[in-house]
Amino acid sequence: MTINQAIQQLFDIEENRGEQVVNPETLAIGIARLGSATDQQIRAGTLIQLSTQNFGPPLHSLIIVGSKLHSLEVDYIRGFSVDERSFDELTKNIFNCEN
């Protein structure tokens, strides 16, 4: 399963159940081919941002970020963000972290 497929399935489940577990603005990290010396990809952003990214062939992993992040985690993840400005705004609003 690709990251894009996983995100679509999460949106479909949320639409059916309406439990407000995830939404398009949920912060997540997409990882493809972790550990590859030449082809590893890591991107952070909202689910909707990640759903537009091309991660290439498998293996893929999707991490849904929890409700708490340490400022060091935010600083590290920021380096992989799809869009630094929207990442900064999101982490400021949700996690009370500023860069």
> pLDDT tens digits, residue range 18-73?
999 999 999 999 999 999 999 999 999 999 999 999 999 999 999 999 988 888 99
Residue 16, SS3? helix
User: Domain count of the chain?
Assistant: 1
Please give the C-alpha separations between residue 49 and each of 17, 61, 88, 96, in angstroms, as whole numbers: 23, 15, 14, 21
We report the CATH number of the domain holding residue 63 as 3.30.950.10
Q: What is the pTM of this model?
A: 0.92
Domain that holds residue 70: 3-95
pLDDT band at 17, cuts 50/70/90?
very high
Q: Which contacts qualify for 88-92: CB closer than 8 Å, 24 or more apart?
A: 90/25, 90/27, 90/46, 91/27
Cα Rg, the chain, nearest whole Å: 14
Q: Is the peptide bond before 27 cis (omega within 30 degrees of 0)?
A: no
